[in-house]
């Protein structure tokens, strides 16, 4: 498995590629994820065609099991975030 890239490394790479300062790139990246978070929390789908999409999906109430004791537990209905890779991202991984 490949090593992880930290935010600092990503910011440095983007700054080098664009000629912008690392501080500017970091602010743009923070604003991007804040905007995505706010939109998805509000029930909107955020899509960057060909690359990635984020959306909120509802989960139904269900019965699960405590893995330590085997006892049944009730898991309430809730929400989760669904992230889908687009065709360009999938092609880049092949």
Spans of all domains in the chain: 1-44, 46-94
Looking at residue 1, its pLDDT comes to 56
Mean pLDDT throughout 25-35? 98
**CATH superfamily of this structure's domain 46-94:** IHF-like DNA-binding proteins (4.10.520.10)
Q: pLDDT by residue (tens digit) across 32-90? A: 999 999 999 999 999 999 999 999 999 999 999 999 999 999 999 999 999 999 999 99
Q: What is the pTM of this model?
A: 0.78
Distance CA 39, CA 86 (A): 19
For 26-48, give one letter per residue: b (16+ CB within 10 A) or e: beeeeeeeeebeeebeeeeebee
- From the centroid of its chain, how far is CA 31? 14
């Amino acid at each position: 498995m490949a090593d992880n890239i930290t935010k600092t490394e990503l910011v440095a790479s983007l700054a080098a590629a664009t000629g912008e300062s690392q501080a500017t790139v970091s602010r743009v990246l923070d604003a991007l994820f804040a905007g995505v978070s706010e939109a998805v929390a509000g029930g909107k789908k955020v899509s960057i065609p060909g690359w990635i999409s984020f959306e909120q999906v509802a989960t139904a109430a269900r019965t699960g099991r405590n893995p330590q004791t085997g006892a049944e537990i009730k898991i309430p209905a809730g929400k989760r975030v669904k992230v889908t890779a687009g065709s360009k991202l999938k092609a880049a991984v092949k």
